[in-house]
Amino acid sequence: MFTSVLMIEKPLSPEDVEFLTTLHGDEAVAFVLLMQPRGDQADVLLRAIDDVALGELKDAVREGDEPEGSEAKGPAERGLAHSLAALKAAGCEAHGQVVEKHPLDRLKAVVEESGADEVIVLTEPHYVEEFFHRDWASRARHKVGVPVLKLFAHSE
């Protein structure tokens, strides 16, 4: 069975699930999900700059209203549960956890523990971080020892 560690920052959409579950053709895939709570990936200013770059001015204004820190854990846990249920409903083996501290260290440990074949970082565009190679995928490539694929999540 092919094992993918999947780093996400929001619940998987039906389009994300369909894409992920067909990415390797007919090969059976097991997913290990790592959900990073919102607010821990980047600061409010960087997220607002990304929103402006995407032309999402209304979202840029609302960035300060998003839960952060301990307030973001509940939504992250619900998003993880939703994503795991969706992958299982699609016939995949899936388990995961919310990662609050040292996500790249935890990613490396999960890759080693699970014998993962790849890491998939499914994220919204983060132009400022990507430009400076500080996004999750760029940083993970130097740490995990398996191929890292960066994909953009489908919008709701």
Q: What are the tens digits of pLDDT across the range 102-156?
A: 788 999 999 999 999 999 988 876 655 555 445 677 778 888 899 998 887 866 5
pLDDT confidence of residue 126: 60
Residue listed under structure tokens 């699609």: 90
* Percent of residues, the chain, with pLDDT higher than 90: 46
Confidence (pTM):
0.77
pLDDT confidence of residue 139: 76
User: Cβ contacts of residue 20 below 8 Å, gap of 6+?
Assistant: 4, 6, 12, 29, 31, 87, 120, 122
CA dist., res. 3 & res. 60, Å (int): 36
Q: Please state the φ and ψ torsions of residue 100, each to the nearest 5 degrees.
A: -100, -35
- Spell out a b/e string for 50-67, using b for 16 or more CB atoms within 10 Å of the CB, else e: bbeeeeeeeebeebeeee
